[in-house]
Amino acid sequence: MGILEKISEIEKEIARTQKNKATEYHLGLLKAKLAKYRAQLLEPSKSASSKGEGFDVMKSGDARVALIGFPSVGKSTFLSLMTSTASEAASYEFTTLTCIPGVIEYKGANIQLLDLPGIIEGAAQGKGRGRQVIAVARTADVVIMMLDATKGEVQRSLLEKELESVGIRLNKHKPNIYFKVYNKIDQISMEEVDRLARKPNSVVISCGMKLNLDYLLEMLWEYLALTCIYTKKRGQRPDFTDAIILRKGASVEHVCHRIHRSLASQFKYALVWGTSTKYSPQRVGLTHTMEHEDVIQIVKK
């Protein structure tokens, strides 16, 4: 019997086994067996044909965020909750075997969220699909390191060690910015939640009970440091339906390039309304730094 058949047999048996106290132990064994076979599917294959399979997801939207964590911490549950994409979630490990993209729409920006297979110790050395997962993480603007709040600190330090050993360093600079998300806080005490929430660069959530997800999005937005700029034509209202999304610190020149390649060369001055100026509107030049939700009107020569 091949691995896929074995997996399918076990899945069928799990499905037809009633869940109760008497079957708990048996179900636990079945899930462990299932995880073992699924982990084998993740092992780097000898044949070149399956190399990188399913991991080449096109970059899209204004920013890319990757979900990294050990198996069954809730990565797929999170993706399905935050985007319109459904990624299979289940109570056994290695449910996800490829990279699954979804889109979070937030403050006018399209943020690409990537669900990935769980990584295991030794991922950095290529265990499981470790190399591919880490390669995807490197292409992300922000990495969300998801942890199981019930699993204690061992998990966090293992994961940090794993990521740092391949040079993904904690909050040094893009593209290696990451923050930690402790999921399943519905399973731990309030004191423990409080302790985790106070850790640096950490957010606590429960996908199961939809707790603190708004705050997580706010944090993500902050880490991404994106800026939305609205344009306005002379004598007209600003177009609030179509924001130009830029990195934090972007200048008027960046805005020009986004509108049209040749606009900067025809630029005379711009009028800006918003927090980046002392007066609204204020006349500014190409080097002026824009801030989130500024409105700009460009005057050509």
Ligand X SMILES: Nc1nc2c(ncn2[C@@H]2O[C@H](COP(=O)(O)OP(=O)(O)OP(=O)(O)O)[C@@H](O)[C@H]2O)c(=O)[nH]1
Residues of this chain that interact with K ion (CB under 5 A) are 72, 95
Count, residues near ligand X per rule CB under 6 A: 24
151 contacts: CB under 8 Å, gap ≥ 6: 70, 73
> Smallest distance from the beta carbon of 81 to ligand X, in angstroms?
9
Residue 9 CB, shortest distance to ligand X, in Å, is 19
Can you give the binding site for Mg ion, defined by CB under 5 A? 75-76, 95-96
77 in contact with ligand X (CB under 6 A): yes
What does the alpha-carbon distance between residue 102 and residue 110 come to, in Å, rounded to a whole number? 10
- For residue 19, the minimal CB distance to ligand X (Å) is 12
Residue 232: helix, strand or coil by DSSP?
A: coil
Closest approach, Cβ 245 to ligand X, in A, equals 28
Is 83 a binding residue for ligand X by CB under 6 A? The answer is no
Sorted by sequence, the CB contacts under 8 Å of residue 208 that are 6+ apart come out as: 74, 77, 184, 186
Nearer to ligand X, 176 or 183 (CB): 183
Tell me, what amino acid is at 272?
V
Query: Closer CB to K ion, residue 80 or residue 212?
Result: 80
| 189 vs 295: CA distance, rounded Å | 46
Nearer to Mg ion, 147 or 243 (CB): 147
Q: Please say which residue, 36 or 258, places its beta carbon nearer to ligand X.
A: 36
Q: Can the peptide bond before residue 71 be classed as cis, meaning omega within 30 degrees of 0?
A: no
DSSP 129-154: THHHHHHHHHT-SEEEEEEEGGG-HH
Q: How far is the CB of 99 from K ion (least distance, A)?
A: 15
Contacting ligand X (CB under 6 A), which of 142, 207, 219, 252? Answer: 207
Smallest CA-to-CA distance from 174 within 101, 247, 99 is with 247
Q: Which residues bind ligand X (CB under 6 A)?
A: 69, 71-77, 89-91, 93-96, 117-118, 183-184, 186-187, 206-208
